[in-house]
Amino acid sequence: MADIAQMSEITELKRPELDLTGLKTRSPDLAGLYEAHSRYVFYLALRLLGDPSHAEDVVHDVFIKAFRHLHEFRGEAGVRTWLYRITINHCQNFLRRWQHRNVICTDDEAVWNNAPSSSDSPLRVLEIKELGQRIQRTLEYLPEEYRLLLLLVADEQLSYEEIARLTEQSIDAVRGKLHRARKAFIQQFPKTA
């Protein structure tokens, strides 16, 4: 009977939002956790760092950190929110490192190659690619905090409450900063044409 209960809790790890409370003494399925959330963590890291190879490294580091500190997960937020917090912190630390400040990152074509469908015309594919590049250039111009808030609300579609928990700010502060971030984006976007 205990084996069935443990198997059902481990099976829970394959869901996108899982409850890790009570798993401090058991060994959860890291592969299931990775499978459920790695794509989201990678995409966030990619948008924050702008380099797919660095983003892949961050994903691996994030899941190693998460697994090592699983016993510290309090369950106050969802697992994905907890992983995003680890990802954001890791990316910020990465960007602060001296070595990264001396590396010139260029736009990676692989990021934009998957956006259009195969039925789109070549002109439409080009328009989508150019738009994606303009958006990325505009985001790179913005302060890191604004870029992060815009990515969390637009790409990850997190609520203001989830963003407030992730960024350790009040909901009103998130609303105000998002307003300023959107204004800054709108002001900068025409300059990237």
Would you tell me how many other CB atoms lie within 10 Å of the CB of residue 90?
20
- Residue-wise pLDDT tens digits, 99-142: 555 544 545 555 445 555 556 677 777 777 788 888 888 888 88
- Residue-wise pLDDT tens digits, 8-18: 343 333 334 44
Half-sphere exposure (Cβ direction) of 189: Cα atoms closer than 13 Å:
10
Domains of the chain, CATH where assigned: 1-106 (1.10.1740.10), 111-193 (1.10.10.10)
Model's pTM, two decimal places?
0.57
Q: Distance between CA atoms of 137 and 189, rounded to whole angstroms? A: 8
